[in-house]
Amino acid sequence: MIIAGEYSFNGGLEYVKKHKSKLLDEVYGVIESVDASRCKTKTSKEKTMPGRKLFNPRALNVAFKSEFSELGWKNCKVPCEYPREFYRPDYKPQALSKGAFRDMDFVKDKLGVEVQFGKYAFMVYNVCAKMTIFKNLAHIDAGIEIVPVKKFADQMSTGVSYFEQFVWDLKTRGVSNIDIPVLIVGIDTSERLKYSQPKGKSSRKGVRETEQEYLL
């Protein structure tokens, strides 16, 4: 896969480059290592594109998990103790199910990574809520959100959000005093980006080159 775009939310790119540069190189390497062609396995049943072969978000998530796990990145899960003291005195609540939790896809040395091929609300929640929560719980200092660009999202089921839309809203919303540094990374599969690095060289110093071109 290729990195098509990056947006530095609240100084995310600058922070990660300065404090987590080796981990940033690992994230770049994972993206480049994922073979998206193996994940184009879903046959559409939607009226607007019946029978069309689409990228399967579940398969993509499995591919990313495999690559990150090999480098020692771990899923981070925290239990939730939901408060009960805010009900009105005359309200009788039902018992809450036990075992509630929040989790972050991958964490290593206090850098959190979320890979999101879902609806827009999940992207917003990850960056504007979950990453702040995990920072407050001392699990991360900064985050990276990996999302598809529109060209890639158009090759999935309808409803998948995309980099361009997400970045516009973050820019228009602005930064709150509780937001943490987050790098938003937009990824694609269908074209090769030319970088200044010679062929065959690893792209671990911020100048990246895809090792393979996928014409899907």
Provide the pairing of β-strand 142-148 with 42-43.
unpaired
Express each pLDDT in 178-203 by its tens digit. 999 999 999 998 554 443 344 444 44
Show the domains of the chain with their CATH numbers: 2-43+52-79+99-188 (3.40.91.20)
Give whole-number Cα distances, 29 to 37, 144, 169, 206, in Å: 17, 14, 28, 10
Do residues 52 and 44 lie in contact, with contact meaning Cβ atoms separated by under 8 Å? Answer: yes
Which are the contacts of 34, defined by CB distance < 8 A and separation ≥ 6?
1, 60, 63, 64, 67
pTM of whole model > 0.75? yes
Express each pLDDT in 16-40 by its tens digit. 999 999 999 999 999 999 998 888 8
Which pLDDT score, from 0 to 100, does residue 37 have? 86
Tokens of 160: 């998948």
Flag residues of the chain having pLDDT under 50: 192-216
Q: Where are the alpha helices (DSSP H) in the chain?
A: 12-19, 21-33, 57-70, 120-125, 131-136, 150-153, 163-173
Burial of 174 (0-12, 13-18, 19+ CB in 10 A): exposed
